[in-house]
Structure 1
Amino acid sequence: MKVLPINKDKNILDIGCGFGQTLKALRDKGYTNLKGIDINDESIAQCKKINLDVTKVEDIISYSNSTDKKYDFIIMSHVLEHIEKEKMIDNLRAIKSLLSEKGKYCVMVPNAQSNTGSYWRFEDFTHHYLFTSGSLQYVLRAAGFTKIDFIDPDGLDGVSSLKKPVVKILLKIYKFRKNFWNKITASSYHRPSPQIFTFELKALAS
């Protein structure tokens, strides 16, 4: 991930760390100050088996109230959509309070604007909400984040240099087709919501 801190001594928190895949990958890259939190006992046990620093928490707010530690980079991958809508902004405020002065929050969620948006909304019964790029910007700003950038909006990170030109052409065709049918059916997007069609949204907020 290109947005990771250059300094590998920075404090990094993974919220909803699961079985520790992200933490382990970061450790393998040389990052030394890693912390994970999760609600699931099985996930915590698995992380501890591979010597990751993880703590079981009931929710993000209680964790933020229980620690004075600040983090330079907070990762939250496919967790926000599992939080009840009425609790979402308070949880995001708690996350912001955990950031250091120049800290950044990297959040990844399924993209409601994508071709698989409906699938991700209803396939997982524990999903409370799905985001468009516009609604994700809205809740982040409501929680006090002022700078929000979308990362890899075309989903090209990790695509090989040989495949990338083909993917770019297919993406242009897809966007043209999408915009064409929107005009034909008089469908519109709420402006200024960016039109991002990858299966997930990745945002960096501070």
Structure 2
Amino acid sequence: MSYDLPRPAGRLLLTPEDREAPDRVRRLRRLRLGEHPEPALDAFADRVAECTGAPYAMVNFIDEHRQFFAGLHVPDIRPTVTSSAGTEQSAPELGRHMERDHGFCPHVVVRRKALVLEDVRDYPRFAGNPIVDEFGIRSYLGAPLVDSTGMVLGTVCAADIEPRPWGRSGLEIIKSAAAELVARLERREDDGLLI
């Protein structure tokens, strides 16, 4: 069984075209997701961070133009990153919104399967992503949130400023977290309640 690691590519990052985005936006609105932070989703992100040992974890919903972290866990102290000029500085604070071409979650959504990047610098396609320089992200672990209609709503993910050997156990943790969260979101729809 493979870890579903991407193969190194000899080209720069290209954010994949997302043809399902308009349908996803409609589905997210129906579920009342992707517009406001939710304490229950923040708690879920906290638990993902704890289970993976990562300083960052997110529940991320993606529309045509941006990503929204409805659940967010960030480190108490912002990490130090080295700029392309070689100077060290504190990473900027990660907010709730991010451009669609930042990060690796858009790739997970379009691929419709988990993505494991133990060291993003090993993959030229991902190493040029703005979050590598801006936030110092060096490793990523993410899984899609695929609901019972087959729609990918977004992702649940963890990231670190150090390379991480996530391995099979990390992949299973993130996939299990995604399945659990989808079940919770669908119960919310069935009950007409917030999670």
Q: State the TM-score, normalizing by the size of structure 1.
A: 0.22
- Considering only CA atoms, is the larger Rg found in Structure 1 or Structure 2? 1
Q: State the TM-score, normalizing by the size of structure 2.
A: 0.23
Larger relative contact order (Cα-Cα within 8 Å, sequence gap ≥ 6): 2
